[in-house]
Amino acid sequence: MTLENTNEMTPDILKVAVIGAGHAGRGLASYLSIYGIDVTLFNRTFANIRAIRENGGIRVCGMYDTFAEITLITNNIRAAINDCQLIVVTVPAHTHSYYARIMAPHLQSGQVVLLMPGRTGGALEFMNTISYSSITRDVLVAEAETYSFVSRMVDEETVLLSKIKTSVEVSAFPAIRNKELLQALKPLPLNIKLAETVLETSFNNIGAMLHPTPTILSAGLLESRGGGYNHYHDAISPTVGRLLEKMDAERVRVAREFDTNPITLIEWLTSSYGARGTTLCECIKSIDAYDNVGSPSSLDHRYVLEDVPTGLVPISYFGKLAGIDTPTIDTVIDMACHLYDIDFWVEGRNIESLGLGGLSPLDVLHYVKTGELPEDMTVEQPLPDIFGLEVDEI
């Protein structure tokens, strides 16, 4: 049953709910609290937040040396989001549909839900999942292309904030609500830039390019040694780099079919980290920020379990919708299916779970801009639930 909007949210006091108390959620909640924002923090498993609940907040180190008080730390989703003007979802993208379902009965008119990040098709899947709720049109759903921080949990009580990203693009679904989104995010101490549509933020999913393939190709090393190498400098060799460049070229071709102008992987590395080189491998090797980045310690890692179903799979399905082949991306997906014994083609985001079944590329463009589907279209229902990973920066 949908919660009736009997409570009016106070406009002059910004209240933000952060959903997910992992590396990302704790970093964001702490940062917002430091800047005087009233923050509530939700985590599905109470044991993981027991220590900070008892302390009443989170110890912060790195960029700041302070204690961030958190107004409410809870595993009760209704209490967490009640009367919050903004809800920032920092859980792994492959659990977005689950959180959409548990939030839907408690969402209130005028609230903004920001998926940080949305990966590929996050806002579309979230809106499609809550479409049964009568309040859907009164809630603004948006996605960010990536996470705004570099943050890490040091222990159960402490988070390390080491970097705030200079610019993160966001977009509302539908795009006609972008100005409304910008106004809602304006009070946040974050570096936000508007993208034209959620297709732009979705197709600029750089993690899907950099994470799964090097992990899959290092499977033997992972299992025999438990990791212990540098994911970027060691696992992305010249040969692997060329494979990633082929995948990235396919991503770019698909994106352009949907009237977006995606940034290439090399362009992104150059603008984000000042990378130097003519090949992907050369650019990766030139990035000092990657020097201390380790590797997964097992194959049970979000680099595949999140980035394949919410990155590579939907990119491939968008390609199929537009008649664009993605043979390299499809090969990596198939390898992941065999390696993990999981049908990522079924578990991952597909055209139906994104609410795009039966649409042409032109229909999709119209839909993400206006929110309007052809009159004879029906909305599909959500994906299965998978848990256990953490949002991370790339």
Whether residue 247 is predicted with pLDDT greater than 70 in this model: the reply is yes
pLDDT at 216: 97
Q: Please tell me whether the peptide bond between 174 and the residue prior to it is cis, using omega within 30 degrees of 0.
A: yes
pLDDT band at 6 (very low <50, low <70, confident <90, very high): very low
pLDDT tens across 350-382, in order? 999 999 999 999 999 999 999 998 765 554 444
- Active-site option among 23, 94, 106, 211: 211
Residue 106 among the catalytic residues: no
170: enclosing H helix or E strand: strand 168-173
Amino acid (one-letter) located at 363: D
pLDDT of residue 362: 94
Can you give the pLDDT at residue 376?
53
Domain ranges of the chain: 15-203, 207-350
Is residue 211 annotated as part of the catalytic site, yes or no?
Answer: yes
Question: How far, in Å, CA of 387 to CA of 95, rounded?
Answer: 6
Class of domain 15-203 (CATH, top level): alpha beta
170 pLDDT above the threshold of 70:
yes
86 or 271: which carries more pLDDT confidence?
86
On whether the pTM is more than 0.85, the answer is yes
The angle at the Cα of 303, spanning 300 to 306, to the nearest 5 degrees, equals 85
Angle (CA) 360 336 307, round 5°: 60
Q: What is the CATH number of domain 207-350?
A: 1.10.1040.10
Compute the distance between CA of residue 103 and CA of residue 84 in angstroms, rounded to an integer. 12
User: 207-350: same fold as 15-203?
Assistant: no
Percent of the chain with pLDDT over 70: 91
DSSP secondary structure string for all residues of 221-250 = HHHHH---S-TTTTT--HHHHHHHHHHHHH
